[in-house]
Structure 1
Amino acid sequence: MKISARNQIPGTITAITPGAVNGSVKVEIAGGSVLTSSITEEAIADLGLAVGDTVTVIVKASDVLIGK
């Protein structure tokens, strides 16, 4: 699958926390950092996501905010 997003980060799923509508998926990337994505439970099921899976985190945003 080709996509236009250039921010593609490989990693491994370390945790999936189910919710009523959206679940939380934690992905460990190089250097030990963890990225968390909130996606629908339907998407988690459709993709067959499981802890230990190798996945690609794709970031496509017009704004990335940083606070301190």
Structure 2
Amino acid sequence: MQISARNTIKATVKKIIPGVVSTEVTLEIAPGVEVTSLITKSSGEKLHLTVGKQAYIVIKATDVMVAVD
């Protein structure tokens, strides 16, 4: 895989919830550390996502904010 985004994290697909238009995908980075993403239904189908499959979380953003209480 070659991609220009700097922020990629290897993960495992933990849960997939398909919808009519979009698919919710939960990926596990480490035990108890998860990221959930909404992708289009067609993208989910093209990626052949299955629970347990290795995937990458790709974060492409011009701004990343940090906040504290």
**What range describes the TM-score normalised by the shorter chain of this pair?**
0.7 to 0.9
Distance 1:19 1:65, change over 3 A: farther
Kindly report which structure 2 residues correspond to 1:3-22, keeping only aligned pairs within 5 A, or say none.
Answer: 3-22=3-22
Q: Which runs of 4+ in 1 moved over 6 A?
A: none
Rounded to whole Å, the distance in 1 between the matches of 2:31 and 2:25 is 18
Aligned length: 68
Identity of aligned residues (%): 43
The separation in 2 between residues aligned to 1:65 and 1:38, in whole angstroms, is 20
State the TM-score, normalized to the length of structure 2: 0.86
Runs of 5+ unmatched residues, structure 1 = none
CA RMSD of aligned residues (A): 1.6
Q: Distance in 2 between matches of 1:20 and 1:66?
A: 33
- Cα deviation, 1:28-62, whole Å, max 9, x if unaligned, reads 00353100110011011111001110111110011
Q: Which amino acid aligns with 2:23?
A: G
